Amino acid sequence: MSGTDTISKLSNLLPTGTFLAFQAVAPLFTNNGDCGFTEKVMTGILLLLFAIICWVLNFTDSITLPNGSVRYGIVTKSGLYNPQFKNSNIEGVTGYFYMDDKFIVNGFDFVNGVCDLIALGALTLLTPPISTCYYPNISSTIVKTVPILVAIVVGGYFAFAPAPRHGIGFSASVKKPESTTDSTLVESSKGGNTQSLLTPKAGSATGWDQKLTIVSSPGRASV
* Span 68-125, pLDDT tens digits: 888 889 999 999 999 988 888 888 888 899 988 889 999 989 998 999 899 999 989 9
What are the angstrom distances between the C-alpha of 207 and each of 33, 178, 183, 198, 213? 68, 18, 13, 14, 20
Instruction: Tell me if 134 sits within 8 A of 125, measured CB to CB.
Output: yes
Average pLDDT value over all residues in the chain: 75
Cα separation of 3 and 62, whole Å?
24
Instruction: Express as a percent the part of the chain with pLDDT over 90.
Output: 23
Higher pLDDT, 12 or 59: 59
Q: How far apart are CA 71 and CA 63, in angstroms?
A: 5
Q: Is the pLDDT of residue 194 over 80?
A: no
In the chain, where the domains are located: 3-59+105-160, 178-223
* pLDDT at position 147 over 50: yes
Mean of pLDDT values over 53-57? 91
Average pLDDT over residues 48-76: 89
pLDDT at 1 over 80: no
Going by C-alpha positions, the residue among 10, 6, 8, 1 that lies closest to residue 116 is: 10
Q: Residues 135, 146: contact at Cβ < 8 Å?
A: no
What gap in Å lies between CA 7 and CA 204, rounded to an integer?
41
